[in-house]
Amino acid sequence: MNMVTDLDLRAETAGIRERILEVLSRLPWDGRSFEHGVPGLSLFRVVEPAGPFSTVYEPSLSVIIKGSKRVHVGGETFVYDERCFFLTAIGLPMTGQICEASEGEPYVAASLRLDLEKLRRLIADFDLNGTEANGRDLDVAVGVATPELLDAFYRLISLANSPEDIPFMAGHVHGEILYRLLTGEQGARLRRIALSGTSSNRVAKAVAWLKENYTRPLRVEELAEVANMGVSTLHHHFRAMTAMSPLQFQKQLRLHHARDLMLAEPLDAATVALRVGYESPTQFSREYRRMFGHPPVRDIKVILNSDDSTRRGSVG
């Protein structure tokens, strides 16, 4: 994005973002989040730099109304701000960090869980197959937050003021947001994942299977059968979409879930290791420290004794 385009885009969307911030200022926030009545819509407000926080993202679209964020997935790093949206269509283990935030200049964001079945219906009903563009296969992407996309988010968020309209209006606006994505720069990526028969869709099936069966020993041959691919083909496309091998993906799932378990219950590391599929508590502790920077017990103590509650989950 060049400087002229950057300045033009900021100016073009400034009014919409100000209207969103006005709506958000009147909502009854519970700390850093607000539980919106629209299914799948989450709102976040953070007033100091936060993170790193780790979580397993679900298929979702996030927009930053004010501020910026850094996200790490596999070996990739993305930095995005109020000019951009962040899209993940299959959901991956990620680590995020709020770069800057204060009481006067808070980080404000909205995240909408994607309805992939609605996405498929839109593609079929309105013939939105488009032209398949060449590009990276990685599941996550940063794209331009157009005025049209932000305006749809504004109307979705504003439904907090008229909850009686949510059952009728929310689905329509969600559909419009999907339409904007499908007809925009990331449309080809979404179509590849949503439509059956494509390599992206097959990898998505493998990812979904791993999420459901992460505690089981990984047999790549079995995973290849789930994806209806050869083993080498699966490895190639899996790494292209997730920036990880299937084994690395499973390891991250196990460690993320282990952290969540220890935050929720007073469990020792050895018990948690077995619950998430590790046969060796020593290996579990070693890999946990490598990912989160501290051994399990110390890491949990740091989080529980910290005022930084954002370390316990995503903030959009």
Q: Residue 107: count other Cβ atoms within 10 Å of its Cβ.
A: 28
Task: Give the residue-averaged pLDDT of 277-302.
Answer: 95
pLDDT of residue 70: 94
Closest listed residue to residue 130, CA positions, set 182, 177, 89, 174: 182
Query: With the C-alpha atoms ordered 138, 91, 38, 54, is the resulting torsion angle positive or negative?
Result: negative
pLDDT of residue 91: 83
Q: Residue 71 and residue 96: Cα distance in Å, rounded?
A: 4
Closest listed residue to residue 206, CA positions, set 231, 179, 187: 231
Res. 134: pLDDT tops 80: no
- Amino acid in the structure at residue 206: A
Task: Give the residue-averaged pLDDT of 252-275.
Answer: 95
Res. 47: pLDDT tops 90: yes
Tokens of 14: 């400034």
pLDDT of residue 101: 93
Q: How do residues 73-100 score in pLDDT, each as one tens digit?
A: 988 899 999 999 999 988 889 989 998 8
pLDDT band of residue 3 (cuts 50, 70, 90) is very low
pLDDT of residue 130: 58
pLDDT band of residue 170 (cuts 50, 70, 90) is very high
- The answer to whether the CB of 226 falls within 8 A of the CB of 256 is no
Tell me the pLDDT of the chain averaged across its residues: 89
pLDDT band of residue 258 (cuts 50, 70, 90) is very high
Q: What are phi and psi of 40, to 5 degrees?
A: 85, -5
Taken in order of first residue, the domains within the chain and their CATH numbers are 3-194 (2.60.120.10), 199-244 (1.10.10.60), 251-312 (1.10.10.60)
pTM for this model (two decimals): 0.84
Tokens of 49: 């730099």
Q: Residue 174 and residue 193: Cα distance in Å, rounded?
A: 18
pLDDT of residue 155: 98
